[in-house]
Amino acid sequence: MKKILIFSLVITLFASCSKEYTHLKVIDLQADVYSWQYSNDIDNNFYFVGFNVPEITDLVYNSGIVSMSIEYWATDGSNFQTSLPNVRHFEAWENGNLFLWTRTIDFEYYRGGVSVFVTNSDFVDERPGNMRFLLKLIW
């Protein structure tokens, strides 16, 4: 009986010990001022850019984690990353009046690609400039 118990314990330990490998891939995506397309939708104006990302396979899409950040540069020359979605508030003067607006940057992913969206509030038509994104895939 003791041998059966020890054998069962050993089998249980071996069966429960499985190796799982975690893979991480960071992909640098850059959009220049000319790559942004305008939605031209009267009710929902936004800019967007699409990237081919063959690394987003069925496995990554169904069982992985997809995250994206944008890189900003500070006035002192240093850089930092902020996760998407990212919401920033701006102010500008127009005809002597203070004008407040917001920019939202978000993304969606799908098998084989990712799209980034820039939406400006209050129908501000400011085309996005050069932007650098870091796409992080974990599976």
Paired tokens of 83: 């996760």
Q: Residue 95: what pLDDT?
A: 84
Q: Residue 38: what pLDDT?
A: 94
Cα atoms in the 13 Å half-sphere on the side-chain side of 43: 0
- Do 51 and 37 form a contact (C-beta atoms < 8 A)? no
Domains of the chain and any CATH numbers: 21-138 (2.60.40)
Specify the DSSP element, H or E, that contains 83.
Answer: strand 79-83
Return the ∠ at Cα 52 (arms to 130 and 44), rounded to 5°: 60
Q: Residue 16: what pLDDT?
A: 53
Q: Residue 99: what pLDDT?
A: 83
Q: Residue 122: what pLDDT?
A: 75
Q: Residue 61: what pLDDT?
A: 97
Q: Residue 22: what pLDDT?
A: 85
Q: What is the rounded distance in angstroms from the CA atom of residue 104 to the CA atom of residue 44? A: 13
Which amino acid belongs to residue 82? T
Q: Which stretches in the chain have pLDDT values below 70?
A: 1-21, 123
**pLDDT 10s digits, 77-103:** 899 999 999 999 988 888 888 888 899
Reduced to 3 states (helix: H, G, I; strand: E, B; else coil), residue 58 is helix
